[in-house]
Structure formats: C-alpha cells, structure tokens
C-alpha cells in the first residue's frame, strides 16, 4: 500500500444551528489534510501523485472557503441573519451540506477533491481519498467513502 498526505489551512466563521454553544457565531483556523492511498500501484517515477498536482486540485477548493462565513443548509433553513447578510455581501461560502461541522466540511472537500482529481486525469493510481479537518489542536474529523 502507498499513501501520501498533504496539509492545507484556511480560516472561516460558522455557526452550528441549534447547538447551545456552537450556535453562536465563531471561527476557526482550520487544518485540512488530504490523504491518498493506492493499494498496489505508483507511477514510473515512483509517485502515487506529485504533490504539485495535488495542490493544483486542492488549493482552489480550500481557497474558496478561506475567510468566508460557512453557510450550511441548516443555517439557511433557520433564516440565519448572519448568513443572509454574508451571502448578500459575497462574504459567505454556501456548503451544500446539512451543517458546517468539521465532519460535513471534510465530506464537502473530499467530494470536490475526488471530482477534481478525476477531471484533471490525476486519479490513475488512487484507490481511496480521505480528508481530515481539524478545528483546533484537540479535534479531528474525517471523511472517506
């Protein structure tokens, strides 16, 4: 088995609708790790995927989240006044996820990375893509298919 992992960061604000503490507007300095696994194969140069090629795919995804208010479906459904204002002023990123939790952000990024790698034709040797999202040094969420 071959495995590579690359780290990215972004800062963003969010609310977890209905949560007693996290329902208040707050932010994090997120750390994202993208892990690729190949069961058997690497390319002729000995790489699963060049880190530069991985950056080509992942950086634009993470950059869209950076310094934004992450608005989830639950925020929109609840009529979140911060969400409406941020959307109107182009300060929001609307996640097509039920919440803006680390778990849902990891899922959102993983799906986008998988599509981006396939679109760029970089997915030849990749058997699994796992995304880890940390809101702090004490917490870590992950998503893999």
Domain locations in the chain as residue ranges: 2-144
Q: Has residue 79 got a pLDDT over 90?
A: no
pLDDT in tens, 55-75: 999 999 999 999 999 999 888
Q: What is the domain class of 2-144 according to CATH?
A: alpha beta
Structure tokens at 115: 């599509």
Q: pLDDT at position 78, please?
A: 87
Q: What percent of the chain has pLDDT over 70?
A: 100
Q: What percent of the chain has pLDDT over 90?
A: 86
CB 58 within 8 A of CB 7: no
Between CA 134 and CA 34 the distance in angstroms is: 12
Give the DSSP letter string of 12-57: EEE--TT-TTTTS-EEEEEEEEEEEEESS---TTS-SS-HHHHHHH
Residue 90 and residue 113: Cα distance in Å, rounded?
Answer: 23
pLDDT band at residue 94 under the 50/70/90 scheme? very high
């Amino acid at each position: 088995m071959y495995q590579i992992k690359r780290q990215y960061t972004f800062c963003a604000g969010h609310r977890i609708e209905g949560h007693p503490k996290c329902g208040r507007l707050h932010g994090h300095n997120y750390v994202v790790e993208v892990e690729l696994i190949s069961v058997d194969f690497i390319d002729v140069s000995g790489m699963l995927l060049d880190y530069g090629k991985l950056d080509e795919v992942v950086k634009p995804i993470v950059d869209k989240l950076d310094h934004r208010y992450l608005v989830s479906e639950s925020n929109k459904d609840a009529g979140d006044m911060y969400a409406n204002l941020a959307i109107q002023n182009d300060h929001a990123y609307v996640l097509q996820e039920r919440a803006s939790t680390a778990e849902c952000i990891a899922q959102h990024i993983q799906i986008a990375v998988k599509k981006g790698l396939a679109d760029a034709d970089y997915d030849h040797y990749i058997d699994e893509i796992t995304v880890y999202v940390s809101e702090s040094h004490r917490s870590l969420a992950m998503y893999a298919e």
